[in-house]
Structure 1
C-alpha cells in the first residue's frame, strides 16, 4: 500500500468542498439520523444529521453537534425556541428521502411533505417523529453550548420517549440496530449498511473474552 502525507497547511489549502469531504471522511462511519422539530408557530421541520452521540445513560442523554448558526438553520432555531426535538434512525428503505432533507428548504416549507415522509407526533411532546423510522426518540433539551473554536453548537438532550420495534429489542436491553436496518454515513453523502462482526462479554483483566451474540439471539 502506498500512502500520501497531508500536513495541516496542505489540508487548509484544499478547495472548500474537497477539504470538507476529506475531513468528514476521516472521522469514519457515523450514525444517520433525521432530526424532527417544530417551530414555535407549529411548522414542522426535518433535517439529516450524522453527529449524534451517547453522553450518558442515567439520566439518558444524547448529544449532537450543529453547524455554526451563521445562516438560518431551522432545526437549531426550532430546538432553541421549543426546547425539544426527535431523533429518528434512518434505515435502508428511506435513505434517498433522508438525504433530500439536506436541501435548503425555506422555513415555511415542510420537509416531510417535500421528501415524502410521514410526521407522527410524539406521545410525550408536541414534536414530530418520522413514522417510517423503526427506532425513534423524543428529547428535551438540557444544554446548548457554543464551541468557541469554530462556533459549532453542542446540543444535549434527555430522552423522554423511545419507540423501538419489539423484534429489535433483546432481553438484556441491547437494541439490534443492524436488524432494524439502521444505516451509517461516511463523508457527507455516502450511506452504508452494516455487518456485525461479533458481540463480546464485558471485558475484565485476565479473563478471556467470550462471544455472547449467539446466546443473546
Structure 2
C-alpha cells in the first residue's frame, strides 16, 4: 500500500482513523489519575506519555481538544495542579481500557471499572494500586497544538517502583511486571526485552555487514 495525503483523506473514516493511529508503532500504556477540588476521583487511559528531560525530571502527554463538555482529567489537573501516571500491566488491561468510556459527570472510573485508588505520601491525586510503576506529577505548563490538542507538561514529584524491577544501571525491566504497550486506539501488546546496548560512542561502532 502506498498512499499520498489526498488518498489518505479519501479513505473510509474509521479505516483512516485506525490506520493513522497505529502507524507510530507501540506507544506506552498508562492510566492518568486525578481528583477534583470536590474530591471526585477520575482515572483514564492514555497512550501519549513521553519523556522530556531527566534533570529536572519531566514528562509530557497529549490531551485531546477540550469540547464544550470537557472530560474530567484536564479540568482536574488545571484546578488542582496534580495528577498521577500509572503503568498498565497485563493483569488489568481490560479494566484500564474501559476507563476511556464517557461516564456521567462525577461518576468514578475507579469504582465503575473496579480499580483501586491508592494515596501515597500525602500526594493529592490518586494512584492506581494495581500498577507496578506509579508517578506523581505536578502540572507545569499546557501548550496548545495546531490540531486543537493540548500538550501537558509536568514535573515528577514522586516515583514509586518495586526495587526488583530496577537493574544496576537504574533501568526499568518492563517485562518483569508484564508491562504492556498500545497500538492504535485499542490493541494491546506484551513487552519482551530483546537486547540492551551500551551508550554509543563513535569509536565503538561495530563494523556492520
Q: TM-score range by the shorter chain?
A: over 0.9
CA–CA distance in structure 1, aligned partners of residues 11 and 175 of structure 2: 36
How far did residue 91 of structure 1 move?
0.3
Q: Does 1:155 align with 2:162?
A: no
1:142 match: secondary structure: strand
TM-score (norm 2): 0.95
Q: Which residue of 1 aligns with 2:103?
A: 105
Q: How does 1:1-217 map to 2 (within 5 A)?
A: 4-70=1-67, 71-147=69-145, 149-208=146-205
CA–CA distance in structure 2, aligned partners of residues 84 and 9 of structure 1: 41
Q: Which residue of 2 aligns with 1:215?
A: none
Alpha-carbon contact 1:124-1:160 (below 8 Å) kept: no
2:157 match: secondary structure: strand
CA–CA distance in structure 2, aligned partners of residues 164 and 198 of structure 1: 22
Alpha-carbon contact 2:174-2:191 (below 8 Å) kept: no
How far did residue 21 of structure 1 move?
0.5
1:191 match: secondary structure: strand
How far did residue 155 of structure 1 move?
0.3
CA root-mean-square deviation: 1.1
Alpha-carbon contact 1:124-1:161 (below 8 Å) kept: no
How far did residue 124 of structure 1 move?
4.3
Which is further off, 67-76 or 10-19?
Answer: 10-19
How far did residue 163 of structure 1 move?
0.4
Structure 1 runs of 4+ with >6 Å offset: none
Q: Provide, for residues 144-176 of structure 1, a one-character-per-residue CA deviation record: whole Å limited to 9, x for no partner.
A: 1111x1110000110010000111011221111
CA–CA distance in structure 1, aligned partners of residues 114 and 181 of structure 2: 21
CA–CA distance in structure 1, aligned partners of residues 122 and 161 of structure 2: 15
CA–CA distance in structure 2, aligned partners of residues 173 and 184 of structure 1: 21
Q: Which 5+ residue runs of structure 1 have no aligned equivalent?
A: 210-217
CA separation of 1:62 and 1:124: change in aligned 2, threshold 3 A: farther
1:6 match: secondary structure: coil
CA–CA distance in structure 1, aligned partners of residues 76 and 13 of structure 2: 28
Q: Which 5+ residue runs of structure 2 have no aligned equivalent?
A: none
